[in-house]
Structure 1
Amino acid sequence: MNLLDILHSELNPVPVSQEIVPLIEAGGRVVSEDIRARIPLPSYDQSSRDGFALASLSEMGASYRLLEFEAFAGNSETISLRAGEACAVMTGGLIPLGASRVVPKEHCAPMADTLQLDLAAMGLPPFIQRVGEEVGLHEIIIKRGELVQAEDLGLLASTGNGQIPVYRRPRVGFFATGTELLELGQAPVAGMKFASNHYMLAELCSLYGSEGHNMGRVSDRGEVLTKLFSEIVEGDLDLVISTGGMGPGRYDLLEESFVAAGGRLVVNSLPMLPGRSTLVGWLGTTLFYGLPGTPRAIRPLFTELISRSLLAMQGLLENAPVQIEARLIRDCRLRRADVPSLQGGKLSYQDGRVWVERVARTGSPDCFMLVPAGSDCLEANSSVRVHLTRSPFSR
């Protein structure tokens, strides 16, 4: 178990409340209770082939009296067949009473009111799907804590489930600290920079099934931060993320204000890169993450840590990142060797192996390499553990 696993286990975020949504909105949601079949599938004995329904098949080359009735899908009328009788039936059609099998039409020779079978018909299966053969009445279709996938929707509809209990989407607030931040549209000013983190956080929250709420820019002043934290305690947000204000500078007052507002501190630094300027704790029942201000640090910390909290809040039982082994395409030199680090990577597949290389500063990673402490350079062709960045909610 690595450092982030231990922290996630200690935080142990619990699922949020549930809500009922119509089936059309249930895709990509996590069910909050076992979903069972309200009706069996199929709900009636049906034919699995176009052909003829027979009361019995006891003699090779037998001849049957052909009735003027056709059982087709959507026809709820039926008849009773007696020994020696047959009628036409289509795929999905209701099996007549007394019928024991369906013989595909390619093995049948209908002539006026008589049906003749070829010799191969004796060895064929019955081609009848009985009630509940695919899904039994009250059988579990999706278990609590599982994600509703596209292919599940048709099955849910077929078994009569039109309203689905799911965990609601977590409400996530995020804000940036700093008086040096400008909004897009404002004129550039020396010593100021454009606020950018909230754009990335909004997308990441959506990517992990959550509702993102931009709380804007917040002053570095301690009393302003303390007031905001007190409001969060009284509010309805499930998780809050701040960026910036976590350094050793005289204006980095986030931790001090967090404690002053009654926040319960879990960690105020992670012994890894990125992560040294990271605060994690609770503001009442709201989980709080104070992250560094640089986007290059925010993405790996969100993917490796915050995303797991969001998935757990949605009741998703499998919330740990998918881990695989890959080999380095080229040498990877590290800035520091005394602490473990997360390095953004790009995966490729060649010669039956998975390969990875570190992404450029402006690149978009599809994985993060988990680099242990103790080496300032990982050599080409060496094996490294990687976590995939793909969200389980990705379509």
Structure 2
Amino acid sequence: MKNILFLMKSMQGGGAEKVLLNILKNMDYQKYNISLVLVFNEGIYLNDIPKNVKVSYIFEKETYENNQMIINQSKSVYLNNIKEDYDIEIAFLEGICTKIIGNSTQNSKKIAWVHVDLLNCHYTSSMYNSIKEEEDTYHQFDEIVFVSNYVKESFYKLFPSLNTKGRVLYNPIDIDQIKKLSKAFNVDYDKTTFITIGRLTNQKGFDRLINAVSKLSNENFNFQIIILGKGPKYNELKEQIHNLKLENYIFLKGFEPNPYPYLLASNAFISSSRSEGLALVLCEALILNKQIIATNCSGVNEALDYGKYGHIIENSELGIYIGIKDFLINGSNYTISEKAFSKFSLKKSIEKICDLIDNTSLPKSGI
């Protein structure tokens, strides 16, 4: 039985956390002994972790001091907290998890997951003193997993010496479960409704979406925007909505454990992101045959097959404004076939992840 460690920052309500849960819920626990170590013991998904998984954490909460300790003393953080022996060590989030596992002294196979377009959203740079240090850290890994081809190509542009490593594994999505959950209860809207779902962070571009709606509100369109999610930008976005007098247009509904009935009942899904790897919720919108309006960034083109399955708009506040206005005036009728989301099949993705874990014959890598 293989001993496997997944290291994750926390279990907050983001796409990477949902992907990790899908993986953990579908692993063979007769074959694998799985441990999950959280850097911070926080998040709305903590209670959803399967009982078969051994869970521990490094810090109780995320604080400035704790982050600084990881940045400056990552090797000590690893040695003081990762005590068991593992055959496979997986840093399931770029940046903080990659830095910690990169300091492992174990003779294990090390795998790093990359969920975002680091070339255009290099948020992990704050964890390192230089790009070279970050690049050197990735050299400690035997395998790098990218959630889309675009994410892989961007990564290689940022870190050219790593272009011989890596493979693309699409996020596993339980297609049947999403369809089932979408019918768990009824949701009715009395006007044209756009929905967007995600962590309230700068990356998701909700501030741009609010400004675009402000322009449209002055043009007498009758519609509403539902935003499902929580995150550090909540108060800032709430204040922005209030200052622009958009309380009748935009509704911050917080985190919803089952967002799919709300998504199913909407007229269209909007992605206003500044950058994306391969947005999980956009793929879920495809599964529910929703019309999609999405800013042109990294994995969006890959998910929508370059505009075949949804309206890809300019990645700007103006692009969002034009995209919504065009929908309100002309509607949208993209045909979404099963081919659009079959590559995210849970069974196929889990099989590929298990193949990655079981293939332990790769030589150790080093700087």
| TM-score, length-scaled by structure 2 | 0.29
In terms of fraction of residues, the more strand-rich structure is 1
| TM-score, length-scaled by structure 1 | 0.27
